Amino acid sequence: MSAPLLWSERTREEIPGDLGRAAQAVLLPVGATEQHGPHLGCGMDFVLADTLCRAVSARTGVPMLPTLPYGCSLGHSRRWPGTIALDPLVMTDLVRQIGAQAYHSGVRRLFLVNGHVTNAAPLRCALELLRAAHDDLMVALVNTATVSERVRAAHFADADDWHANRAETALMQALAPTLVREGRIVDADDPDRTQNLVFAHPVNRTSRNGVTGSPSQASAAEGVELFAWMVEDLTALVRRGLTETPPLPHSYDGHAVPMPGA
């Protein structure tokens, strides 16, 4: 396997060629810095997004933009220390600006690879703004936990409103053991209390310890297998995206615009 192609390590003379060989595509890993119970480090989400995109970049040759380590984590409240949250409006505009600047460097396919569940709304808003502003820019939003059905099933196995659960713990045991406090896992389990609720409550009102799920069931071996699935399935999705063109050629404002791959 090749090394990942990191935008931050490439020069202004090399980037046009990198993009030309990758159908003008880039990966943008997006994570969060937030409490993950008593047993996982606060960087879990961005570590996962970064590690996953490095592996996919190595397989596909698609350049990877620097990982965003902060996200929309307001729901974790101030009950526990460790969470550094962005306002969703700030996050939307931050990603919009990153996408716009990448566009001016030649990017025409942007994969937003999201490693934190509640980043999805501001990232979707950024997607809407970017494609409206740049007619020949295609933007995909991929959530790492739902990149395929088998990956989704593993994440949701012990809770619907999961957090710092079996899957996330197993992934960190396999990928970043320095983020794991093994001695705290045995007492970290906390059930999902969100079934049949009408309102979306913050974590301080749904969890006793910042966990939802059963991290005590995790193992590094399970994390190795789950991460392999994530790499394989995201790689397949990215490769499909490298040859995709819009189903119809109609431009956003009614004028003819050349589209990627046309």
**17-38 pLDDT, tens per residue?**
999 999 999 999 999 999 999 9
The pLDDT confidence band at residue 190, using thresholds 50, 70 and 90, is very high
Q: What is the mean pLDDT of the chain?
A: 96
For residue 260, the model assigns a pLDDT of 55
Q: Give tens-digit pLDDT for 162-174.
A: 999 999 999 999 9
Whether this model's pTM surpasses 0.85: yes
Structure-model confidence comparison of residues 38 and 251, the more confident one: 38
CA 234 to chain centre: 11
Q: Which residues of 34-56 are buried (b: 16+ CB within 10 A; e: fewer)?
A: bbbbbbbbbbbbbbbbbbbbbbb
* Nearest-angstrom CA–CA distance, 169 and 141: 24
Asked if the model's pLDDT at residue 14 lies above 70, the reply is yes
Nearest CA to 51 among 4, 98, 91? 4
pLDDT more than 90, % of the chain = 95
Q: Give tens-digit pLDDT for 58-115.
A: 999 999 999 999 999 999 999 999 999 999 999 999 999 999 999 999 999 999 999 9
The pLDDT confidence band at residue 228, using thresholds 50, 70 and 90, is very high
For residue 256, the model assigns a pLDDT of 59
The pLDDT confidence band at residue 254, using thresholds 50, 70 and 90, is confident
For residue 253, the model assigns a pLDDT of 87
On whether the CB atoms of residues 136 and 258 are closer than 8 A, the answer is yes
DSSP 8-state class, residue 254: S
Nearest CA to 109 among 211, 243, 247, 255? 243
- Residues 6 or more apart in contact with residue 12 via CB below 8 angstroms: none
Q: What is the CA radius of gyration of the chain?
A: 19
Across 113-118, average pLDDT: 98
For residue 258, the model assigns a pLDDT of 57
CA 151 to chain centre: 13
Asked if the model's pLDDT at residue 236 lies above 90, the reply is yes
Reported in sequence order, the residue ranges of 129-211 that DSSP labels E, i.e. its strands, are: 138-143
Quickly list DSSP for 219-257.
-HHHHHHHHHHHHHHHHHHHHHHHH---SS---TTSS--
* Nearest-angstrom CA–CA distance, 213 and 191: 5
